[in-house]
Structure 1
């Protein structure tokens, strides 16, 4: 079977109907599958916006698996990787009537490092000891080494960095447990597989090491499918830049001291160098101060901070020189010397600004990350695409602005691409109502929150719950969460529990209320009556105070561009469309979308935003919105049934 034959399954859909109870043919899905098959056969490039309900996952999976080519599918999160592997790929195999060798590949920080587990167990850390024993027990059972089986690697637990490796501290072939390495095992599985399910972070890590000439992480492929592609431009900035963190420096000092002690402690000069680096890192951290901070280096470079930075640079340079003659003592010191050299090089890079990069610091509590981010990611991304002789397929439900894909393509430097915009098959005009309150104050006005709370409480009362309140700031999450408690509700509020737990609790209660920010605007699928009201407080414009955006806007102005119209507005439209997409997830779903920001109608650009949203009926009248959602409330439905 060829890719085209896989696409033809949407025309002769008996196999789909047999595998999917309630399957309904969708013209957009068939059109997308045909375009995907054509791109794969020709080694071409395709950008597809597939509206919610199009069925884009099967539209690319069936041609991909039927092609019998090596295919990489990259998506935005580990959760979506799991969903592809455990739900979507088995379904596609059932439709095709054959199995495909599939491998899920994640970044190395997702896999247990047995060598670092050994080190952690011998460190004498009494706090971690009981959990390390449980990890050791699990290590004897796991077949993948994926720590997601044991816990959530994204929850910031101090355990994970102690038992996983990074490119900084991995010993490579010098590791005494190299043959038992789970990262190596996962990569070998990926090399042998026909379908590799990766994520965008891993994809960009692979691009950057290829660019630097250091081999590769992902295997070569005939086709690369990038789902949730709207996330790519922002992720690209991180990976085509450089960063050094306080944690990396502290880990280097800790591991260096431990290695010296293991070798008998007879290297006082080297020990002094590690101690000096630790003191200088502490001095720089102290100079930065406490609390949250995200600023460009130029804006915060006081004489005290400059002196602390210079001392840090000198300390790591001295350590590198002192390490050089000591590396013959052990493989561990050789690895630490490589890490010191890499960190010294990166630190020298992040402190510099050359007009093409911005140097900025992100501080949280007593930890910090110093970044150097390129202002242009289109050039390196386009170069990576050009250097990879594969078919490239980019898809998401939200890529266009006012029915055009130019903004997305320009941000990634994509030229000579086929494009498709496939609308959602759902009947938004009948099933959804857009409510924009008539008399809301400006978002910057001091009484905006009070007015928003009044709207939120009225709508939720009418709906009897079943609501997402999506906010553009954590401050708003706290404010609206407290207001709902004071109004007699019991909302689920982001920060009270892990994301997965909040979603599970929401799905379990058809009258639940969730108040959350950016991480819940996308990738959340709640179908049916349980979600009938989505309230968005403000249009999600990125803050121009962000140091990277501020520098990018300066560069755009110098080139005669309009940063707001050419960057901020399109980005806000795509983010807003993600939030809007939470409401209607199935053909039978109905609900109200409320956007409290008056600029949707009062600003001159409001028409651009409205034209980019699904074609819903619109009201400015609260009573009409409450009446619509009241019909969906459980008590109303129960009354009508009786």
Structure 2
């Protein structure tokens, strides 16, 4: 018998077994985890706790429906007070994470919210379902982590696009928890993914998965069936300004325009931030002889439209770096606007503390994470054995002689490299059928 589930369900089953609760899955003898590079993020979700403004407002509505107007009013007051002391700094981007800093106004708001939630749990224990009462207690317990500034957790505030705050607490021992939950059981496990290796090494993913101690492991890297030397041309220009240069956005837009025209559309342009994507899109609007689309968050409809058009150009960020299939001539030009270095946030700052120097942290964490994300983005280019594609990396730091040139090449399959726009046009003419250009 074969059982199939997602990563979160697997971890939830492991948690049940650790607590000697009824397992969610039937007993199994061998574990196979596909897309195993996503398992650490699933564990982060599983081993974290949060309280959002919507969580509190949902309980206010529940209390109103139960004709408990006084209790609903009290909870609405503490929710508003808590939101008021967590206002987003104007300097932060949308959907940013900010380290939680305890201050007297926040302490008072947290204490009021904790008291209110615990009193509500006691008041409703008689007449409300047990799981709803438990949810109130869990929210109070989570807020106590912030009131106590608990050092066992990474505490931060997550803001959504409207600036609404969510208090998030992530356990600092996630790799160790994964080790106890999944690997110490003694069951054989096979972990597979196209992006487990970073720079020719499994070291980073071993660390993230909790496989660094006495767990016996073996590794194998399969050779890709795709002929990248024949079917892929890597373009790294020699004259891009640095990402911090004020002319970078203008030059980036101009270079994307030249590439799109050389390849006759059929282009996917990946960005590391929606802000940069929006700036470049504004500069190129009306300048391309092909449909220009922008996929924002939850942009599935735009992606379907892109797939239906013969030679469109799609600007995308976020989830489009992986998990989306563009076979055939649909993407004959893949542009990576910036190297996908992880954005510093409270979680990365907490991890940095475990390394003796910034250099060690960059080599052990920052570079491997960038290489894995770069490889995921590169994977949008060649999806079948007959696909042909130009991949352009328009980041000065990837240029020959620059700091991360070698790291970029280590992350990607071996293919021909050029800095000439003429070579790109020739490559496309030689490998595309006449109908491609119609």
TM-score if structure 2 supplies the norm length? 0.90
Q: 1:322 aligns with which of 90, 113, 123?
A: 123
How far does residue 554 in structure 1 lie from its aligned partner after superposition? 2.1
Q: 1:254 aligns with which of 53, 61, 72?
A: 61
1:590 counterpart = 2:388: yes
Inter-CA distance 207–361: structure 2 relative to 1 (3 Å threshold): farther
1:391 equivalent in structure 2: 188
1:426 counterpart = 2:259: no
2:294 equivalent in structure 1: 493
For the Cα contact (< 8 Å) 1:296–1:359, is it kept in 2? yes
Per-residue CA deviation, residues 521-576 of structure 1 (Å, 9 max, x unaligned), is: 111111112211100011101112x1111121123338x97111110100000000
After superposition, residues 440-455 of structure 1 pair within 5 angstroms as 440-455=240-255
1:222 counterpart = 2:29: yes
For the Cα contact (< 8 Å) 2:264–2:437, is it kept in 1? no
The whole-number CA distance in structure 2 between the counterparts of 1:452 and 1:627 is 22
How far does residue 598 in structure 1 lie from its aligned partner after superposition? 1.6
1:481 counterpart = 2:288: no
Q: Which has the higher helix share?
A: 1
Provide the secondary structure at the position in 2 that maps to 1:556: coil
Provide the secondary structure at the position in 2 that maps to 1:230: helix
For the Cα contact (< 8 Å) 2:63–2:71, is it kept in 1? no
The whole-number CA distance in structure 2 between the counterparts of 1:357 and 1:604 is 34
Give structure 1 stretches of 5+ with no counterpart. Answer: 1-193, 266-270
After superposition, residues 3-42 of structure 1 pair within 5 angstroms as none
How far does residue 374 in structure 1 lie from its aligned partner after superposition? 2.3
2:402 equivalent in structure 1: 603
Provide the secondary structure at the position in 1 that maps to 2:11: helix
Q: Choose 424-433 or 222-231, whichever is displaced more.
A: 222-231
2:354 equivalent in structure 1: 555
How far does residue 280 in structure 1 lie from its aligned partner after superposition? 0.3
Per-residue CA deviation, residues 405-459 of structure 1 (Å, 9 max, x unaligned), is: 1221122122311210012111101111110111001112211111111111001
How far does residue 342 in structure 1 lie from its aligned partner after superposition? 2.2
2:51 equivalent in structure 1: 244
Q: Choose 225-234 or 348-357, whichever is displaced more.
A: 348-357
The whole-number CA distance in structure 2 between the counterparts of 1:378 and 1:435 is 38
1:362 equivalent in structure 2: 158
The structure having more radius of gyration, on CA atoms, is 1
The whole-number CA distance in structure 2 between the counterparts of 1:333 and 1:238 is 25
Aligned length: 427
How far does residue 366 in structure 1 lie from its aligned partner after superposition? 5.6
Q: 1:307 aligns with which of 85, 108, 115?
A: 108
1:541 counterpart = 2:338: no
Provide the secondary structure at the position in 2 that maps to 1:615: coil
1:459 equivalent in structure 2: 259
How far does residue 347 in structure 1 lie from its aligned partner after superposition? 2.3
Provide the secondary structure at the position in 1 that maps to 2:354: helix
How far does residue 512 in structure 1 lie from its aligned partner after superposition? 1.5
Provide the secondary structure at the position in 2 that maps to 1:371: strand
Provide the secondary structure at the position in 2 that maps to 1:587: coil
Give structure 2 stretches of 5+ with no counterpart. Answer: 89-93
Q: CA-atom RMSD, angstroms? A: 2.4
Provide the secondary structure at the position in 1 that maps to 2:330: coil
After superposition, residues 149-168 of structure 1 pair within 5 angstroms as none
2:140 equivalent in structure 1: 344
For the Cα contact (< 8 Å) 1:273–1:318, is it kept in 2? no
Inter-CA distance 377–541: structure 2 relative to 1 (3 Å threshold): same
For the Cα contact (< 8 Å) 1:462–1:633, is it kept in 2? no
TM-score if structure 1 supplies the norm length? 0.62
How far does residue 518 in structure 1 lie from its aligned partner after superposition? 2.1
The whole-number CA distance in structure 1 between the counterparts of 2:47 and 2:96 is 22
1:524 equivalent in structure 2: 324
